[in-house]
Amino acid sequence: MSTQFEAWFFNNRLPQIRYMMLFTAPLYMLYGFIEFQMDLPMPELRVFFHGLFIPSILMVVFGMTYVPTFTTVMKTLLFFSPIVAIVGNLYLNVGTAAFDCFVPEIYLCMIWTLAMSGLSIRLGSLAVLVYVILTLLFHYSRDAEQPFMFLYFLWMLSSAVFGLVTAIFYRQISLSIYQQQQKLAEIADMDNLTHLLNRHAMQRYFHQSQQAQHLPISVLMIDLDYFKQVNDTFGHMVGDGLLVEFGKLLQEHVRRGDRVGRFGGEEFCVVMPNTQLTQAQTVAESLLAIIHNHHFKHVDSLTASVGVAQALTEESFEGVLTRADQALFLAKSDGRNNVKIFLPTSAVYA
């Protein structure tokens, strides 16, 4: 779930990243313009760096938020662009009288990186550590110690803490929302009585398997024989309990990649990826034997009828389901407690 959440979390932060780039770029352009008006060394380099270079990187990231294939490159730029900005700040200003005017950029970069850049907490914290190391290196390499250096680093630490707390809090809220969404999705995909997959979820699994594997997929339609008599004799409470028990029995005896669902009443379905028609028939016959030999609560034994069909190339779930239903109808008409398959080549039953 961790990988799935990380992908969900990042995708949900894309609008935030997009608008942060859109608003930060003109701020840097304004930053460069103001620097040009001040009596500072290397004014042309300052204008190029803050007024053109950094905004260009930010707008490139802005464009990448619309192209999923550039996600890795975008994260790389999100990591390095504030480092480049701070290197430029330190290179241009450490040791000058105006340095105190430019220190806030470092504080803001720390908060921005941790809380607003879209980087993971791990990468954001690593970037902030790089900022601190770079700041120390520039100060001591140029012998530019401040008289109240401890206060300077106290504000850096405070900025890092504020950004980190915000990032952790936002992530925890997002995780809670994600987990709630997962629970709601599970409930939406679940049959209320048996807790098996419902028709909609089975359809989605069929199409996912079809698109991912491009291999044969077979479908079983299973119907309990004479189940109405069970309800009439023992009542619906007993009948519901038998349906739950029957669903568990199917789940325990299908293969790992197969999915069992309930479509309502006593009708069940099994989607079997990477399964030829003859293999599905063998599984169906095995299930019938297991059902017949199982001792159900309140009812000594039950039987079932099964219809089997294999999906044609690019066939819809409804299409293969219709043919499996037709085979099931023939199995019930032919005395029940048997398996019938729909042969797609000749459009007949066997």
Q: Which residues are designated catalytic?
A: 266
Which DSSP string corresponds to 107-141?
HHHHHIIIIIS---HHHHHHHHHHHHHHHHHHHHH
DSSP state of 27: H
- Give the distance from CA 41 to its chain's centroid: 50
Q: Which amino acid is at 324?
A: A
**Rounded to the nearest 5°, which phi and psi values hold at 2?**
-60, -50
**Whole-angstrom Cα distance, residue 146 to residue 96?**
11
- 3-state SS record for 142-176: CCCCCCCHHHHHHHHHHHHHHHHHHHHHHHHHHHH
For residue 71, what are its two tokens? 């996600």
**Rounded to the nearest 5°, which phi and psi values hold at 51?**
-90, -20
Question: For residue 256, is it left (φ>0), alpha (ψ between -120 and 50) or beta?
Answer: alpha
CA angle 308, 310, 315 (to 5 degrees): 130
**Whole-angstrom Cα distance, residue 189 to residue 201?**
5
The β-bridge partners of 224 are 304
**Whole-angstrom Cα distance, residue 292 to residue 302?**
6
Q: 159 to each of 26, 113, 114, how far by Cα in Å? A: 23, 10, 10
Q: 9 with 171: CB under 8 angstroms?
A: yes
**Whole-angstrom Cα distance, residue 137 to residue 133?**
6
Q: 227 with 241: CB under 8 angstroms?
A: no
CB atoms within 10 A of CB 62: 19
For residue 70, what are its two tokens? 């550039």
